[in-house]
Amino acid sequence: MSLNVSLPIELENRVRDHVASGLYGSASEVIREALRLFEAYQSVQVANLSSLKSDVALGLADVQAGRVSALDVAAIKAQGRAALQTRTAKQ
C-alpha cells in the first residue's frame, strides 16, 4: 500500500532528523514506529481507564456497605505534625 501524507513543517523536520540520526532508514520507518508507539500508548490508556473504573466501583461499593467514615482533616494534620515533631526531636 502506498500513502502520501502531508505534515506540518515541524513534524516533517522531526521525521527528517530521525532518519538523519541513522536510527531509521526512511521516513516510512519513522512513521511506522510512531504508529506502533501510538497504538501501544492507546492500549495503556484503555487499561488505565479500566483500572480507574474498577477502583471507583470498589469505592462506591464501600460507601453502600457503610465501610466509609467522614474524613477528619484536622486529626490527620495533628498526627502528621506529631510524627514530624518526634522525628525532628530525635535528630
pLDDT of residue 55 exceeding 90, the answer is: yes
DSSP string, 43-63: HHHHHHHHHHHHHHHHHHHHH
Tally of CB atoms within 10 A around 33: 13
pLDDT of residue 43 exceeding 90, the answer is: yes
State the pLDDT confidence band at 19, using cuts at 50, 70 and 90. very high
Nearest by Cα to 19 from 33, 39, 6: 33
Q: Is the dihedral of CA 13, 17, 18, 22 positive or negative?
A: positive
CA atoms within 13 A on the CB side of 86: 6
Q: What is the pTM of this model?
A: 0.62
Instruction: Say if residues 1 and 27 touch (Cβ distance below 8 Å).
Output: no
CA separation for the pair 52, 44 (Å, rounded): 12
Position 65 scores a pLDDT of 97
